[in-house]
Amino acid sequence: MSPDQQSPVPLLDLKAQYERLRGEIEAAIHGVVEAQKFILGPEVESLEREIAQYCQCGFAVGVSSGTDALLIAMMAIDLKPGDEVITTPYTFFATVGSIVRLGAKPVFVDIDPFSYNIASERIEAAISEKTRAIVPVHLYGQMAEMDPIIETARRHDLLVIEDAAQAIGAEYRDRRAGSIGHLGCFSFFPSKNLGAFGDGGMVTTNDAKMADRLKVLRNHGYRPKYYNKLVGGNFRLDAIQAAVLRVKLKYLHGWTCARQENAARYRQLFLERGLTSDPNGKSQAVTSKTVALPFAQDGRRHIYNQFVVRIHEDQRRALIDTLKQRLIGCEIYYPVPLHLQACFTELGYQRGDFPASELAANQTLALPVYPELSHSQQQTVVDAVAEYLSQAE
C-alpha cells in the first residue's frame, strides 16, 4: 500500500476510546449538570476514595492538574527559598518548574540509561545540608528504583515526592506508584493512561495530616471559608472531570493490559524484522540498522504510558519525516534536557554534565502504543521503520 492509500496511525486515538464509553460518560456528565455541583463535591470525593484504593494509599486529594499536584505537594512540605530538591533533568518541565516557582533550587542527578529514571546510586553524592527532598520521576510508565531512594532519604531525613504523572498503576515490587514516598503526584491530562476531558491531577499520601493540609492548600488555604490558616491557591478539581475519570477508572486495568500486549507485540515484530539486537531492551546500543527497545526491569509493572525506542541521533529526524509521510504519529519526549533549558541557565550546568540524559534526548522516539492500536497498525509502524533503516547509509 502506498503512503497515499495508507490509513493514519495516530500517536494516540482518544476518539476510539470515547466511542466505547460515550453513553457512560455522557450520563456521568449529565449527573453533574443536574446536581449543579461543579467544584469539588461528591464526585470528587468519590474519585479520591477510588484513586486511593487503586494506588494502595490511605488518602488521595484531587487537584486541578498534574503540574499543580507537584506544586501543592511541595507547598505541603513547606519548601522554602534556598532549599534544594534532588531530581532528574530528563523529565517534563513541570517537575522542575514547580521547585523553582517556590524559590527552591533543583539539583540534578543523571538518569539510568536503561530505565530513563533517576540513577539512585548517584543521589547520595548530590545531597547537601540544604537538601529537603528527592523527587524521583517514574518516566514512561515504569517506576524508579524506590527502595534505595527511600533508604537514602531516611538516612538524611529527607522527604520523597514521587512524580507519578506517567505511572498510574505502575508497580515496584508489588507496590503501586504514589504509595511509597511521602507524597505521590499524578496527572489526568487527556493523553495520560487515565485522562480527563481537560486538566486534572491527584496527590496521594499515607499521612492523614498531610492529606488534610493538602485539602486546605488547594482551596486558598482557608478553613472555614474566608478564614485563612495558610497561603494556598485555587487548585480544586472540577466535578465534571472527576465524573469522567470515575467512568474511565473502571477500564484502566484492561487498558493497561492492552498496552502491555502491544509492547510485547512490538518486541516480537522488531525482532522478526531484524531491527533490534535485544527485544527485551537489555542493550541500549543502536547501529545504523537497528533500534533499541524499552527495557522492562524485573520486579516492575510497566504500564507503557509511552513506548520509547532509541535510534542513532543522526537518523532520528529522517525517521520522523518518514513516519509522518506515512501518516504515523510519533513524538520526542524530551528533546532538550532541563539542565540545558534557557530558563535554567543560572543553575550553572553545562552540556556534558549529564551525558545519559543528553544522549536519551538525542536518540529517543515514542511510537503509538495506545490500547485501541490494532495488530495491522503496529505492523504498519514496524514496516515503516524497517523500510527506512534498510535504506539508511
Cα 375 to Cα 218: distance, rounded to the nearest angstrom? 44
Give the residue from 353, 312, 358 showing the smallest Cα distance to 90. Answer: 358
Cα 195 to Cα 371: distance, rounded to the nearest angstrom? 13
Cell 496521594 -> residue: 204
pLDDT value of residue 4: 53
From first to last of the 393 residues of the chain, give the pLDDT tens digit.
Answer: 455 567 899 999 999 999 999 999 999 999 999 999 999 999 999 999 999 999 999 999 999 999 999 999 999 999 999 999 999 999 999 999 999 999 999 999 999 999 999 999 999 999 999 999 999 999 999 999 999 999 999 999 999 999 999 999 999 999 999 999 999 999 999 999 999 999 999 999 999 999 999 999 999 999 989 999 899 999 999 999 999 999 999 999 999 999 999 999 999 999 999 999 888 888 888 888 899 999 999 999 999 999 999 999 999 999 999 999 999 999 999 999 999 999 999 999 999 999 999 999 999 999 999 999 999 999 999 999 999 999 876
pLDDT value of residue 96: 98
pLDDT value of residue 284: 81
Q: Report DSSP letters for 321-389, one per residue.
A: HHHHHTTB--B-S-SS-GGGSGGGGGG---TTSSHHHHHHHHHEEEE---TT--HHHHHHHHHHHHHHH
Domain boundaries, the chain: 15-249, 252-391
3-state secondary structure of 184: strand
pLDDT value of residue 229: 86
For 15-249, the fitting CATH number among 3.40.640.10, 3.40.50.970, 3.90.1010.10, 3.40.228.10 is 3.40.640.10
Nearest 5°: the CA angle 377, 379, 381 is 75
Q: Which CATH class is domain 252-391?
A: alpha beta
pLDDT value of residue 5: 61
pLDDT value of residue 333: 96
Cα 135 to Cα 66: distance, rounded to the nearest angstrom? 14
